[in-house]
Structure 1
Amino acid sequence: MMLIVLFAVLLALIFLGVPIILTLGLIGLGGILLVPELVLALYPQKMFSTLDSFSLLALPYFILAGELMLRGGISRKLVDFAETVVGHLRGGLAQANIVASMVFSGVSGSSTADTSAIGSVLIPAMKEKGYKAGYAAAITATSGTIGAIIPPSMTMIVYGALANVSVGGLFLGGIVPGILIGLALMGVVYIQSRSASRYPEMQTGDGQFSARAVLRASLKVWAALLAPLIIVGGILGGVFTATEAGVVACVYSFLISFFVYRTIRLADLPRILLAAAMTTCMVSGIIALAGGFGWLLAYLNFNKVVLSTILGLTDEPMVVFALLMAAMLVLTMFVDSMAVLIIMVPLAVYIGQTFGLDQFQLGVALVMATQIGSTTPPVAVLLFVASSIAKCRYSETVRFVWPFIAAEILVLVLVMLFKPLASAIPQWALG
């Protein structure tokens, strides 16, 4: 009964628009006060123990690296590179949007940052070329989800810390699924471009493909393109851990923005550091409170209750995996995706261990589900961000987003069915 009351109040507060950090704090605190044998001092203790994680040390460094890259104007250069590579195709700007997001994801580590940075450059350009504002917003939001899947990834750092899974392994596990999502979205654009009546703006590309132009564009943006290779290559080669990779990313981001592109000055650093610190504090606060709430759920045997319910339905691991992913997709339609991930991690890991699911496959799939949820109405943060940039109604963006969501769900199903897609690289690299 206590569990039902806690979850009912949790969902009610979220639907009423109460900030998630305040919601988790109130529910966790109220739950401890309602259990007679628990003392209040346990709550801050469990919050601190959640943050006392080596994996979470990477979080502020990657956030700072992302801020340096964003303020350094790297997005404009990456967009120019993407247009040079695929701009000649039918629906060239739409294809460039996806390619730019795939490349920028290796720099920002955040789907929101990816959507904002790429959208601010490409959405106005797409509208000028005749693309409907809602369509431009929809493709920008869905391609922005790759930002949390291709390494580095803020979401994977959070998951790795809470689930006690190697963050480096999760980074490596996201490479193939992230690329597959990009290719699937490009496939949707290609199919749509074959319909001249519905998408007349996609019938011509921008110029012709030129290897020389691609080479010139690569020379202009080589420093930014090198960033994800350094991070992934360093982890693969055992040169540094995922946490140390965050420090490397910070130093590298500053060097190329300050010395190579000269787009930031020393006077800009206080503002950049403040923005990174604010983001870090916000994310850390949510993680800490969710950790306390998760401990309370474990104490009340929430995991065992859910597991016994599942066992009453089926004992097939793949069916259980599918049920877990379906629950994540449904929940993220109504609740903030990061909040769902943080709350569900202990349960998901418990179920995964019980049924022998691969830890990297499970982690990557859960992160993918949260990102798909970020574009699935009614609560879809990335759609709101992209619609704001496109200056169009949210309902207009929703009208165009469904084929792209279907493509992302298809890739999620493939990751669930074929374990090597998410686990082969980390198992090879980490032994």
Structure 2
Amino acid sequence: MSLFLLAMLVVVILILVEIPVAFAFGIGAVLFAYTTGNNISFLVPHGFKTASGFALLALPLFIFAGLLMAEGGISERLLNFVNSFVGRIKGGLGAVTVLTCALFGAISGSSSAAIAAVGQIMIPRMVKEGYPEGHATALVACSSVLALLIPPSIPMIIFSITGGLSVGAAFLSTIIPGILLTLLYCGLNIWFLRDNSNIKVDAPLPFKQAAKQVASTGYSAAFALLMPLIILGAIYSGIATPTEAAAIAVIYAIPVGLFIYKGMTLRNLGTVTVRAVTMTGSIMAVLFFLFIMSRAMILEQVPKELAETLLQVSENKYVILLLINILLLLIGMIVDDISGSVLAAIIFLPVVNELGIDPIHFAAVVGVNLGLGNVSPPCAPMLYMAGGVSKLSLDRYIKPTLKFLCLGHLPMVFLVTFLPELSLFLPRLLLGY
């Protein structure tokens, strides 16, 4: 255990000094294997075998599909559709942002894709309508992590494959928390802006005109809205595995972007393909080294030692869940959601199994915690990415971010942790879990 903690400390230090995450984990894995006497040449084949599994093929396909839809003009149509419902109330444009991030998460499964596609449009639009710049930036950053909870979530795919769990059940476990958090952020946004007199609000439309606008924008966004229905419908009906559904998503996204929405050209298609390959390569490098480290940890019985250590603190599973929540939050603060999901699976999943905690419930706990960590300093990758879009310094948006997190995301972490039915209801209802 002490050698593992030393290796993780080295990884954290390397990440903080801006060594690429893949190399940081690579050095940590080699260091841990060397100090524990494990033959690295024995561990490397395990890393290759796990990283080349068929189920993991869903990862690059979902990344590719998300980038295709972002480039193809889907985000603008989703924004217009959601705006037709809530855009004419005070704070409504912020609610449009939250709901569109949730919808975009149901298409791309990626927080960074949601910020890139939605943030670049909505932050300038909100500022133009009188929203404080810091509030607009914080809202996009916090809403982006809804992509971790609304399936198909890439981190949930990684967590499920690493932990040997049902991807479909893990997807379902985070839907209710994701919907509740979406509504909570919408409500908080409207509440925070209630006394702001600078916000411009368009006059309400007569019912017939409003219905016509909803129908018009809905018709325009129909192909975008169909995509998550096709993906999830194929998975839960048993027609396709998550990997096959991801392939269907790619096949669907290309003609929609090229010929229906016409937001993408053949040249754009080549650029998007290169971006998808680059992003997949960087993620796979991280996963490869994490799989090596996980094998070495299992051989050294680190998860068992961790479980015994936590049981010495308390035998109450809720106290231990609280401690694990704190550790997951720290992981989410330091590394990205993909790396965090693998670490959660290899370090904590054996512990929760030992304690009799349902692993699908724990999948939801991991999802909400990593989302909270990804927008919590010091590293906070999604928070800084949103700041990069708005070109603001951290001091301009850190206060509204903390308000959203403390009043919105943190309570949801406790609800998911201590109310297992919140995450287990849908897997039981739809899959007989």
Partner Cα separation in structure 2 for residue 280 and residue 336 of structure 1 = 14
Q: Which amino acid aligns with 2:355?
A: F
Closer/same/farther in 2, CA of residues 105 and 35 from structure 1, 3 Å limit: closer
Q: Which amino acid aligns with 1:385?
A: M
Residue 47 of structure 2 contacts residue 289 of structure 2 at CA under 8 Å; is this kept in 1? Answer: yes
Shift in Å, 1:248: 1.2
Partner Cα separation in structure 2 for residue 96 and residue 381 of structure 1 = 23
1:206 match: secondary structure: coil
Partner Cα separation in structure 1 for residue 130 and residue 272 of structure 2 = 36
Trace 1:109-258 onto structure 2 (pairs within 5 A): 109-194=109-194, 196=195, 199-202=196-199, 205-208=201-204, 210-258=210-258
Residues 81-106 of structure 1 show CA distances to partners (whole Å, capped at 9, x for unaligned) of: 12111111211111111111111111
Residue 53 of structure 1 contacts residue 161 of structure 1 at CA under 8 Å; is this kept in 2? Answer: no
Residues 222-254 of structure 1 show CA distances to partners (whole Å, capped at 9, x for unaligned) of: 110111111122222222121111011111111
Identity of aligned residues (%): 27
Q: Which amino acid aligns with 1:339?
A: S
Q: Which amino acid aligns with 1:417?
A: F
Q: Which amino acid aligns with 2:32?
A: G
1:377 match: secondary structure: coil
Residue 188 of structure 1 contacts residue 404 of structure 1 at CA under 8 Å; is this kept in 2? Answer: yes
TM-score by length of 2: 0.94
Trace 1:253-292 onto structure 2 (pairs within 5 A): 253-292=253-292
Shift in Å, 1:337: 4.2
1:100 — aligned with what? 100
Partner Cα separation in structure 1 for residue 345 and residue 13 of structure 2 = 21
Residue 73 of structure 2 contacts residue 262 of structure 2 at CA under 8 Å; is this kept in 1? Answer: no
1:29 — aligned with what? 30
Partner Cα separation in structure 2 for residue 62 and residue 336 of structure 1 = 17
1:333 match: secondary structure: helix
Shift in Å, 1:282: 1.1
Closer/same/farther in 2, CA of residues 14 and 362 from structure 1, 3 Å limit: same
Residue 67 of structure 2 contacts residue 113 of structure 2 at CA under 8 Å; is this kept in 1? Answer: no
Partner Cα separation in structure 2 for residue 249 and residue 336 of structure 1 = 24
2:414 — aligned with what? 413
Trace 1:393-404 onto structure 2 (pairs within 5 A): 393-404=393-404
1:91 — aligned with what? 91
Partner Cα separation in structure 2 for residue 320 and residue 402 of structure 1 = 26
Shift in Å, 1:412: 1.9
Residue 133 of structure 1 contacts residue 391 of structure 1 at CA under 8 Å; is this kept in 2? Answer: no
Partner Cα separation in structure 1 for residue 3 and residue 103 of structure 2 = 47
Unaligned regions of 5+ residues in structure 1, if any? none
Residues 118-169 of structure 1 show CA distances to partners (whole Å, capped at 9, x for unaligned) of: 1100100111112121111000010111112101111111111111111122
1:382 — aligned with what? 382
Partner Cα separation in structure 2 for residue 61 and residue 338 of structure 1 = 15
Partner Cα separation in structure 1 for residue 112 and residue 243 of structure 2 = 22
2:430 — aligned with what? 429
Residues 390-421 of structure 1 show CA distances to partners (whole Å, capped at 9, x for unaligned) of: 12111211121112112012112212222222
Residue 338 of structure 1 contacts residue 370 of structure 1 at CA under 8 Å; is this kept in 2? Answer: no
Residues 241-294 of structure 1 show CA distances to partners (whole Å, capped at 9, x for unaligned) of: 211110111111112212321222333322222111111111111111101012
1:82 match: secondary structure: helix
Partner Cα separation in structure 2 for residue 334 and residue 71 of structure 1 = 29
1:201 match: secondary structure: coil
Trace 1:30-69 onto structure 2 (pairs within 5 A): 30-36=31-37, 38-69=38-69
- Find out whether 1:341 has 2:341 as its counterpart: yes
Residue 304 of structure 2 contacts residue 351 of structure 2 at CA under 8 Å; is this kept in 1? Answer: no
Residues 297-322 of structure 1 show CA distances to partners (whole Å, capped at 9, x for unaligned) of: 22222212211111111112222222
Residue 70 of structure 2 contacts residue 117 of structure 2 at CA under 8 Å; is this kept in 1? Answer: yes
1:276 match: secondary structure: helix
1:12 — aligned with what? 13
Partner Cα separation in structure 2 for residue 253 and residue 172 of structure 1 = 23
1:264 match: secondary structure: coil
Q: Which amino acid aligns with 1:34?
A: T
Partner Cα separation in structure 1 for residue 423 and residue 94 of structure 2 = 27
Shift in Å, 1:335: 4.0
Partner Cα separation in structure 1 for residue 88 and residue 55 of structure 2 = 42
Partner Cα separation in structure 1 for residue 103 and residue 203 of structure 2 = 22
Partner Cα separation in structure 2 for residue 337 and residue 395 of structure 1 = 24
Closer/same/farther in 2, CA of residues 34 and 397 from structure 1, 3 Å limit: same
Partner Cα separation in structure 1 for residue 164 and residue 330 of structure 2 = 25
Partner Cα separation in structure 2 for residue 340 and residue 236 of structure 1 = 26
User: How well do the aligned residues superpose, as a CA RMSD in angstroms?
Assistant: 1.7
TM-score by length of 1: 0.94
Partner Cα separation in structure 2 for residue 176 and residue 201 of structure 1 = 34
Partner Cα separation in structure 2 for residue 382 and residue 8 of structure 1 = 23
Shift in Å, 1:112: 0.8
Closer/same/farther in 2, CA of residues 65 and 4 from structure 1, 3 Å limit: closer
Moved more, 2-11 or 76-85: 2-11
Trace 1:298-313 onto structure 2 (pairs within 5 A): 298-313=298-313
Q: Which amino acid aligns with 2:396?
A: E
